[in-house]
């Protein structure tokens, strides 16, 4: 009897070797995930010579913040930063509004044609017109070369709408019925009953929208020819891709200056990556309280 109890206790508590393996495995996953970001950071604060010789691996070699000083003095970078904040904040707010206002009616049982509207929304989620029809539409609407070419197309997302609808559908129907008995209309039910208990799914939609818009650059490349309106990722693209010098066309003095600038430019790329990524990294802790719960709800009931 005592032997059986000992075996059950051992099974219940688990194997210590397996626990050690899980800890080591999770540690390796964390290391593989975090090291690239750490590597970019130590490259951004190391000496330019060490950066260009690619001799930095675990710790910075030398220490200087000249590349960050250059970034802080760059007016184009700050203009691009401001544009990105405008696009991110406005598109996120619009996505939240359209997702909530579009999802709630689709959960009302008495809505005529509800199944048709749900099916209709699924079609453009899987099939799109492509780049050329989209460009022609933006041009015909007079949105080309304006901020609205970025904000309006991103103001509605079918996937987020379906996610919010799935969450609303999982709420007890008794909440809606009791509110109706008290004389509440649909707007009051939505804003005073549904939204206060929907923070989890709204946090998921917000973080998806923020990350998506912050990292977006293709639409800006297509619709925004003016540098003054382009977001931060377009600025980063110019720094990473277009910053090059043809040394064969320079004399000895110019070559020395060009090489020095290329050394600084290489380190500047790493600094720019850190500078553009930190805001998104700092965004996650504000939504972490609701993020996991919202993702699980959408996955279980989708």
Percent above pLDDT 70 for the chain? 81
Which SS3 state, helix, strand or coil, does residue 53 take? coil
**Of residues 298 and 94, which shows the higher confidence score?**
94
Residue 241 reports pLDDT greater than 50: yes
Residue 57 φ then ψ, to 5° = -130, -55
**What residue spans in the chain does CATH classification 1.10.3720.10 cover?**
66-301
In this prediction, residue 294 carries a pLDDT of: 56
Q: How confident is the model at residue 121 (pLDDT cuts 50, 70, 90)?
A: confident
CATH class label, 66-301? mainly alpha
In this prediction, residue 83 carries a pLDDT of: 92
In this prediction, residue 258 carries a pLDDT of: 45
Task: Quote the mean pLDDT of the chain.
Answer: 78
Structural contact between residues 117 and 106, judged by C-beta atoms closer than 8 angstroms: yes
The Cβ of residue 114 has, within 10 Å, a number of other Cβ atoms equal to 14
- What distances in angstroms separate CA 168 from CA 140, 141, 202, one per listed residue? 37, 34, 11
The stretch 77-100 carries a mean pLDDT of 91
Query: How is 114-150 classified by DSSP, letter by letter?
Result: HHHHHHHHHHHHH----HHHHHHHHHHTT-TTSTHHH
Residue 302 reports pLDDT greater than 50: no
In this prediction, residue 35 carries a pLDDT of: 85
Q: In which residue are the tokens 């965004």 written?
A: 283
Tokens encoding 274: 């850190």
Residue 254 reports pLDDT greater than 60: no
């Amino acid at each position: 009897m005592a032997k059986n109890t000992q075996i059950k206790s051992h099974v219940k508590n688990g194997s210590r070797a397996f626990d050690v393996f899980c800890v080591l495995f999770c540690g390796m996953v964390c290391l593989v995930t975090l090291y690239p970001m750490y590597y970019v950071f130590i490259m951004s604060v190391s000496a330019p010579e060490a950066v260009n010789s690619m001799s930095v691996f675990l710790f910075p070699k030398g220490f200087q913040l000249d590349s960050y000083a250059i970034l802080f003095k760059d007016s184009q970078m700050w203009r691009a930063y401001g544009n990105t904040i405008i696009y991110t904040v406005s598109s996120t707010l619009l996505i939240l509004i359209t997702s909530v206002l579009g999802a709630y009616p689709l959960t009302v049982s008495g809505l005529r044609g509800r199944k048709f509207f749900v099916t209709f929304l699924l079609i453009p989620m899987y099939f799109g017109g492509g780049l050329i029809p989209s460009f022609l539409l933006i041009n015909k609407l007079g949105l080309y070369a304006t901020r609205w070419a970025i904000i309006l197309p991103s103001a509605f997302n079918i996937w987020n709408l379906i996610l919010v609808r799935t969450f609303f559908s999982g709420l007890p129907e008794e909440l809606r019925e009791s509110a109706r008995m008290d004389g509440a209309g649909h707007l009051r039910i939505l804003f005073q009953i549904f939204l206060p208990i929907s923070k989890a799914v709204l946090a998921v939609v917000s973080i998806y929208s923020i990350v998506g818009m912050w990292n977006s650059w293709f639409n800006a490349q297509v619709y925004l020819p003016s540098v003054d309106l382009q977001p931060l990722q377009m600025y980063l693209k110019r720094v990473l891709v277009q910053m090059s010098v043809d040394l064969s066309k320079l004399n000895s003095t110019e070559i020395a200056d060009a090489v020095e600038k290329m050394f600084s430019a290489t380190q500047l790329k790493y600094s720019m990556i850190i500078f553009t990524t930190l805001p998104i990294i700092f965004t996650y802790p504000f939504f972490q309280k609701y993020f996991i719960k919202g993702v699980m709800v959408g996955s279980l009931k989708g």
